[in-house]
Amino acid sequence: MDERRATRISKYLALHLRHRPERIGLTLDAEGWADVTALLAAAARHGFRFTRAELEHVVAANDKKRYELDGNRVRAVQGHSVPVELNLPPTPPPEFLYHGTVRRFVESILREGLRPMGRHDVHLSPDRETARRVGARRGKPVILTVDAGRMAADGHEFRVSANGVWLTGSVPPEYLRE
Ligand code: HQG
């Protein structure tokens, strides 16, 4: 498939499986799953037509494995702003995790900690290179180190999404350094 079309479908999925299912009259269940037949029909009704084969290709080839298919169901594995219960088990994190951001946010982050902003959880990366890419979406990246081991020892819960993103509710400033 043409890479531009794959990206277009992926962005369409992100919008409707993470943020605004109601925009096309789609319903997600409590765990974020949408019925594939219903999704394809809703998209077509709203002027964007793609096939099940194209959906399968996008899910399989997606650079960050953002989506998962299970029979006739599809969902985003993380990144939601709509309420979903992904039922990921609490998992002990590595000693350090990383957060990629940009300079203009750093002062506020070091003062008030990392907050989930529009999403359910703060997203953390397992390595500096991934964090650098996350930060680079917004400008010259700045990488913050999160003392995840100490957070966990102090009772904070961590989960890891199917595509390797570490999730936690918030990161207080005392666990953060540049
Ligand atoms: C910042 C992408 C000021 C935070 C990526 C970030 C990731 C604060 C922005 C995933 C703050 C939120 C998530 C505070 C946090 N003061 N700024 N107290 N706390 N921020 O997009 O981590 O392509 O919601 O630094 O690869 O950038 O969508 O989070 O800049 O995995 O699959 O507020 O999104 O994945 O932005 O990215 P986001 P993120 P996908």
Judge if the beta carbon of residue 93 lies within 6 A of ligand 1: no
Judge if the beta carbon of residue 101 lies within 6 A of ligand 1: yes
Burial of 45 (0-12, 13-18, 19+ CB in 10 A): exposed
Running along the chain, 178 residues long, what does each successive block of 10 average in pLDDT?
Answer: 95 98 97 98 97 97 95 96 93 98 98 95 97 97 98 98 95 98
Q: What is the DSSP letter of 158?
A: -
Instruction: Give how far Cα 4 sits from Cα of 10, 18, 58, 72, 165, Å.
Output: 10, 21, 11, 25, 25
**All domains of the chain in start order, with CATH:** 3-76 (1.10.10.970), 97-177 (3.20.170.30)
Nearest ligand 1 atom to alpha carbon 108 = 16
pLDDT of residue 157: 97
Q: What is the Cα–Cα distance from 122 to 78, expressed in whole angstroms?
A: 11
Residue at token pair 């996008």:
58
pLDDT of residue 79: 93
Judge if the beta carbon of residue 18 lies within 6 A of ligand 1: no
pLDDT of residue 35: 98
Q: What is the Cα–Cα distance from 15 to 60, expressed in whole angstroms?
A: 18
pLDDT of residue 147: 98
Give 53 Cα–ligand 1 centroid separation in angstroms. 31
Give 145 Cα–ligand 1 centroid separation in angstroms. 15
Judge if the beta carbon of residue 173 lies within 6 A of ligand 1: no
pLDDT of residue 33: 98
Write the residue with the smallest CA distance to atom 28 of ligand 1.
Answer: 79
Judge if the beta carbon of residue 64 lies within 6 A of ligand 1: yes
- DSSP letters along 35-54, please? EHHHHHHHHHHTT----HHH
Nearest Cα to Cα of residue 173 among 142, 150, 141: 150
